[in-house]
Chain A
């Protein structure tokens, strides 16, 4: 895996604290597929777009995704 790529498992792990491991992994698979992400990792921008899509969902999922996106951005964003 290229050094700047983010494992999809890491995104699922960030969501699992609120949603549980199985639901988080299922959601990441679904949204990654919809975003055309192939393989088990993605770029930072792809991760942000995926979390943005999840963030539009109602209820707990949307809130968890918005929170995860904010924390991930702070943790992983690199100056361009």
Chain B
């Protein structure tokens, strides 16, 4: 993890990766960059340095490794060993998500005979407002395989989130990595939120914009139920602390409100009119415990093999709730994985979908993708 200007931070992160690789050639390099480190510039530097590897990335709302968390920096991880990686980008996500997904997947292989296990990595622009839709489209096209990933951030500016593939960095885009391995990867997911409000019916909505709840402006209902007074500059953080929960099976699927316009609230994916939501909350201990639980589940899926490292997609809300204690969640994840190296970013949405799952876009959730030794 590195800070400084983009050149300094990139070079420092590259040097750390090189030291960790010990001369090995990576199949995949994933880089997470704050808006203070322009992803286009960072991605180009990594692409040049790791020619031959697949290099992908996302802008963030915070970055972390097993050494700690940061704002304004770069976190990166390189995956070397018995892996084959392929990646592609699709653009125009907001206006034509199906075309964007098709475009991204068209060039990706479906199988590698020598590497029978496949896992997809999905990075997307959440401000397109269709995270769940895009995740389902990717899952439908790829068939039954695990998918992990995250929605890019922009340090809570809520204006422009970016993903990269090779040296190309774009907003309104998605990036899909198809990763083939000789052993299964471990995917773990968990959140620590619980309902704060009674069930509330969305009475007017279109796409990802909820205009009214119970016949009243959505923003008014959010303030009333949380008993909060919020300064305009703090609205993004406020909304990401009090997200919407959809009853689903035994738990709640969390949906992230990202911003407001008048009385309406923009979400990271579609919320159909007539949906019943609960506004949710969480306390710091639950946030730390759920992050560690996600790591435990990922490790369990490795089937007894040790973790060589992990990529972590962690909702920005955890940092907002935990503040200085966020590092406890990060170190808890690394410790649960046997102090393996990790790199991750604070997202505006998380992707975790296993074979047979019916939904894969999450919010307020920790997603841990562990790689076996």
A residues within 8 Å of B by Cβ? 13-23, 26, 59-61, 63-64, 66-68, 70-71, 74-75
Contacts and interface: CB of A to CB of B under 8 A. Distances in A.
Given A15-B358, A60-B132, A67-B358, A20 B277 contact: yes
A24 B144 CA distance: 23
B272 interface: yes
Given A20-B253, A74-B144, 13 more contacts: A17-B357, A17-B359, A20-B247, A20-B277, A26-B274, A59-B272, A60-B132, A60-B269, A60-B270, A63-B132, A64-B132, A67-B139, A71-B356
B358 A18 contact: yes
Given A64-B136, A67-B140, A17 B249 contact: yes
B215 interface: no
A66 B269 CA distance: 17
A63 B358 contact: no
Contacts of A22: 199, 201, 247, 275-276
Interface string B341-373: 000000000000000111100000000000000
25 contacts: A13-B249, A16-B246, A16-B247, A17-B248, A17-B249, A17-B253, A18-B246, A19-B275, A20-B247, A20-B248, A20-B253, A20-B276, A21-B249, A22-B201, A22-B275, A23-B275, A59-B133, A59-B272, A60-B271, A60-B272, A63-B136, A64-B136, A67-B139, A70-B140, A71-B356
Q: Which 4 A-B pairs have the closest CB atoms?
A: A60-B270, A20-B246, A17-B359, A22-B276
A67 B137 CA distance: 8
Contacts of A64: 132, 136, 359
A-side interface mostly: helix
A46 B246 CA distance: 27
B246 A19 contact: yes
A52 B209 CA distance: 26
B247 A59 contact: no
B199 A17 contact: no
B272 A19 contact: yes
